[in-house]
Chain A
Amino acid sequence: MNLVSSSSSRAHNFVSFDGSERAQGKLEIPESAAYFQKDQFTAPQISRGAGLSYAAASFGKNICSVDHARLNKIVDFNEEELWIEVEAGISLGRIYDFLIEKKLFLATQPGHPRISVGGCIAADIHGKNQFLDGTFMNQVQSLNLFHPEHGILELSPKKNEDLFRLTCGGYGLSGNILSCRLKLKRIPSSMAEVQLKPLDTIEQLPERLKISAAASDFVLSWHDFTLKGKDFGRGFIQEGRFIAGDSVLAASKKAAEQSLDAESRGNLPIKVFNPLTIKMMNLLYGSRCGKSGSIFKMSLFDSIFPIQNSKELYFKFFGASGFHEFQAVLPEETFLEYMNGIRNYLLKHPVSITLASSKLFAGKQDLLRFSANGICFALNFERNSESPKFLAFLDKLLLECRGIPNIIKDSRLSKEIVSQAYPEYELFRSALRDFDPKRIYKSELSERLAL
């Protein structure tokens, strides 16, 4: 109710979405913008959006997490100039619900509608169209950042440019992102056409991804890594295109009503995934695409947010022990070396891969931004006693292939790996200290990576 204190706080037991990291910290949920006052904070803190990051980016031991969930308003909108200004706690689903009736769209979106805009900026996330529209930073025209010693600063590609680059993809370590102005894109309807094109071998992937990207609005691939021999990595490329059409189907869903969270993800009393069920799941999913491919229409909502409704079960099936995601961008010239390395490892040391998927990436890599030219490849598998060995192998292979790992998706990446993979690791670290010598903003992620 109103007229009570502008925020409330309590001790809270946090868990990362992948189930690996647990820590007790403090959780504060401000109701009012008045919460962010200059010179008010000295204790370690970090902003928190939906708490869906696989890695522990929004909490840490004895760190105060500032939850932006109630600071989630649309504060300005210009349909002609194609921009929207929002508070950082707003979810992508809430924005989607508002924009879709106007046939407008945020060009870059990750896979779940509960993810907050502040989280998208802090992790500089990518969508299925990174090759076309870049990362989330490319959609941000400006943002307001709060830091207790600097007050509220306006950042944009032209104003406080260095701090803008540090904050977009800065994992929340430069301050609290309060609000931002985002670019919008016109779309013909709330429908998409998705075409699945079979891919017989993993070797075909780099070339086929480029061909598909040239004819699509968004592209990803899916592969069966439970197959062996010449069939290893067989799958399909999913081409997506915005189309004109009936929007009734899309309007049947309210994006903001999705419910996935890190706490409930591990709630299933039994673990559903085992080598047999993973094999069956891959077989079933692979059968979606016939030998000659298939085309179907779907709501744009379902195509951009595949991880919702029944697909939320996918994450629950890992059970309380959780899962790993190893996502990396590989230069095209080393991609097959990377794939062969994985194939050979799996032959000797079987690991049941629940998901193998790729996207085409294009763009400059700087600071700790997960962006580069090449192929972004993700692997999901169970967290168990064998997985650390596989991850250590992947770390080594990644460095040999000159790839970069996705920091926000991997909760056990070490400082050694990140500092070797990201050439501007030290630059990021020193830029952060120049702006915030006291290093007020911290998380488990920042402590682990010695940021």
Chain B
Amino acid sequence: MNYIVVGASAGLGRALADKLAESGNNLLIVASNEEDLQAQSADLRIRHSVRIEHKAMRVRCDENSVKSIVEAAAKLGEVDGIFFPMGYSRNDDDGTLKSEDITRIIDSNLAGIVAITAAFLPRMLEKGEGLLVFFGSVAAERGRSSNIAYAAAKRGLQSFYESIRHRSSSTNIRVQYYQLGYLKTAQTFGKKLPFPAAEPEQAAAYIISGIAKNFGQKYFPWFWQYICLALRMTPWFVFKKLKF
């Protein structure tokens, strides 16, 4: 199979690329740093003897950005699925960010993903099969006073996932959305977390085990579904007093 992993060079993306290559899949890996991608491509190619293409770029919602991914993917042949384990967040995302910072957050967490999906969806609809895997965050379950633009973008992505799943419901396209809890990545490093963080490799193994299924949305780790349920049911007069 041929897969694209957008956001492949670190954390969950790197773990997913590794598991997919280990299973014998060819990959196009996309991330921002050329040097890292060269090393990662070599590593995957050498260890797993699969075809690896890479594209170094900042994911944006513009024609050139989408075109360069489409061209790079063409070297692989028919694309069977796309994983989007990407994201960008800032500690100062408190509702007062400058436009350029907001644009980067929206591009990386929503608009760029929508644009790339749009470029590959027609062919998947034509074939009647494919795989699209999106990743949200428990940080977007309810709007809070931190990660404001980030949570808005992730909430938008959740809506987008549902729409694409609805659109392709008469086909064999599996559209999956993982609401991720804490993972041991650069985003959580050094932070005091109220719940345990999972290894990216654990998450990747879980995600790969489900790629043939059409389940819609899941939480990872599983216990977050109950935490998030409690969070959603918390009345506003209580919620507004929570500091987290």
B86:A8 contact, CB within 8 angstroms: no
B186:A31 contact, CB within 8 angstroms: yes
Q: Mark A1-40, 1 if CB is under 8 A from B, else 0.
A: 1111111111100000000000000010101111000000
Chain B CB within 8 A of A77 CB: yes
- Select A2's contact among B32, B35, B38, B47, beta carbons within 8 Å: B32
| In the complex, the 6 A-B pairs of residues with the closest C-beta atoms, listed nearest first | A10-B190, A2-B7, A73-B43, A8-B189, A31-B10, A8-B186
- Select B190's contact among A4, A8, A32, A75, beta carbons within 8 Å: A8
Q: Which residues of A contact B179 (CB under 8 A)?
A: none
Q: Mark B80-91, 1 if CB is under 8 A from A, else 0.
A: 000001111100
- Select A34's contact among B12, B33, B108, B189, beta carbons within 8 Å: B33
Count the B residues whose beta carbon is within 8 Å of the partner chain — how many?
35
Residue of A nearest to B32 (CB): A3
A6:B190 contact, CB within 8 angstroms: no
A1:B42 contact, CB within 8 angstroms: no
A-B contact pairs, 18 of them (CB 8 A): A1-B7, A1-B85, A1-B185, A2-B10, A2-B86, A3-B31, A3-B86, A5-B186, A8-B190, A9-B190, A11-B190, A29-B189, A31-B10, A32-B36, A33-B35, A73-B40, A75-B38, A98-B46
- Select A73's contact among B39, B183, B187, beta carbons within 8 Å: B39
Q: Which residues of A contact B85 (CB under 8 A)?
A: 1-2
Could you tell me the distance in whole angstroms from the C-beta of A449 to the nearest C-beta in chain B? 30
6 additional A-B pairs beyond A2-B10, A2-B14, A87-B39, beta carbons within 8 Å, are: A1-B185, A2-B7, A6-B33, A9-B189, A31-B10, A32-B9
Q: Which residues of B contact A1 (CB under 8 A)?
A: 7, 10-13, 85-87, 135, 183, 185-187
Q: Which residues of A contact B218 (CB under 8 A)?
A: none
How far apart are the CA atoms of A330 and B9 in the complex, in Å?
A: 48
Could you tell me the distance in whole angstroms from the C-beta of B219 to the nearest C-beta in chain A? 17
- Select B13's contact among A2, A7, A9, beta carbons within 8 Å: A2
Q: Which residues of A contact B190 (CB under 8 A)?
A: 8-11, 27
Could you tell me the distance in whole angstroms from the C-beta of B163 to the nearest C-beta in chain A? 23
How far apart are the CA atoms of A10 and B189 in the complex, in Å?
A: 7
Q: Mark A320-346, 1 if CB is under 8 A from B, else 0.
A: 000000000000000000000000000
CB within 8 Å for A4 and B89 given contacts A32-B10, A75-B42, A98-B47 = yes
Q: Which residues of B contact A74 (CB under 8 A)?
A: 42-43, 46-47
Q: Which residues of A contact B43 (CB under 8 A)?
A: 73-75
Chain A CB within 8 A of B8 CB: yes
A3:B46 contact, CB within 8 angstroms: no
Q: Which residues of B contact A98 (CB under 8 A)?
A: 46-47
Could you tell me the distance in whole angstroms from the C-beta of A49 to the nearest C-beta in chain B? 18
- Select B186's contact among A7, A27, A75, beta carbons within 8 Å: A7
Q: Which residues of A contact B (CB under 8 A)?
A: 1-11, 27, 29, 31-34, 70, 73-77, 87, 98
Q: Which residues of B contact A3 (CB under 8 A)?
A: 7, 31-32, 58-59, 86-88, 108
Q: Mark B2-19, 1 if CB is under 8 A from A, else 0.
A: 000001111111100000
Q: Which residues of A contact B33 (CB under 8 A)?
A: 6, 32-34
Could you tell me the distance in whole angstroms from the C-beta of B135 to the nearest C-beta in chain A? 8
Q: Which residues of A contact B87 (CB under 8 A)?
A: 1-4
Q: Which residues of A contact B186 (CB under 8 A)?
A: 1, 4-5, 7-8, 29, 31
How far apart are the CA atoms of A50 and B162 in the complex, in Å?
A: 43
Residue of A nearest to B91 (CB): A5
Could you tell me the distance in whole angstroms from the C-beta of B230 to the nearest C-beta in chain A? 25
- Select A77's contact among B11, B12, B46, B86, beta carbons within 8 Å: B46
Residue of B nearest to A77 (CB): B46
Residue in B11, B46, B89 with the greatest tally of chain A CB atoms within 10 Å: B46
Q: Which residues of A contact B8 (CB under 8 A)?
A: 2
Q: Which residues of A contact B14 (CB under 8 A)?
A: 2
Residue of B nearest to A70 (CB): B10
Could you tell me the distance in whole angstroms from the C-beta of B189 to the nearest C-beta in chain A? 4
How far apart are the CA atoms of A70 and B88 in the complex, in Å?
A: 19
How far apart are the CA atoms of A273 and B165 in the complex, in Å?
A: 61
Q: Which residues of B contact A5 (CB under 8 A)?
A: 186
Residue in A4, A11, A74 with the greatest tally of chain B CB atoms within 10 Å: A4
- Give the contacts of B36-87 with A (CB-CB under 8 A): 36, 38-40, 42-43, 46-47, 58-59, 85-87
Q: Which residues of A contact B10 (CB under 8 A)?
A: 1-2, 4, 31-32, 70
Q: Which residues of B contact A6 (CB under 8 A)?
A: 33
Residue of A nearest to B183 (CB): A1
Q: Which residues of A contact B38 (CB under 8 A)?
A: 75
B42:A76 contact, CB within 8 angstroms: yes
- Give the contacts of B94-142 with A (CB-CB under 8 A): 108, 135
Q: Which residues of B contact A29 (CB under 8 A)?
A: 186, 189
Residue in A27, A31, A77, A98 with the greatest tally of chain B CB atoms within 10 Å: A31
Q: Which residues of A contact B31 (CB under 8 A)?
A: 2-3
Could you tell me the distance in whole angstroms from the C-beta of B131 to the nearest C-beta in chain A? 19
Could you tell me the distance in whole angstroms from the C-beta of A254 to the nearest C-beta in chain B? 12
Could you tell me the distance in whole angstroms from the C-beta of B91 to the nearest C-beta in chain A? 10
Residue of B nearest to A90 (CB): B43
How far apart are the CA atoms of A33 and B42 in the complex, in Å?
A: 15
How far apart are the CA atoms of A10 and B42 in the complex, in Å?
A: 31
A73:B42 contact, CB within 8 angstroms: yes
Residue of A nearest to B13 (CB): A2
Could you tell me the distance in whole angstroms from the C-beta of B128 to the nearest C-beta in chain A? 31
Q: Which residues of B contact A10 (CB under 8 A)?
A: 189-190
How far apart are the CA atoms of A66 and B135 in the complex, in Å?
A: 30
Q: Which residues of B contact A77 (CB under 8 A)?
A: 46
Q: Which residues of B contact A73 (CB under 8 A)?
A: 39-40, 42-43
Could you tell me the distance in whole angstroms from the C-beta of A388 to the nearest C-beta in chain B? 36
A34:B40 contact, CB within 8 angstroms: no
How far apart are the CA atoms of A4 and B191 in the complex, in Å?
A: 15
How far apart are the CA atoms of A70 and B9 in the complex, in Å?
A: 10
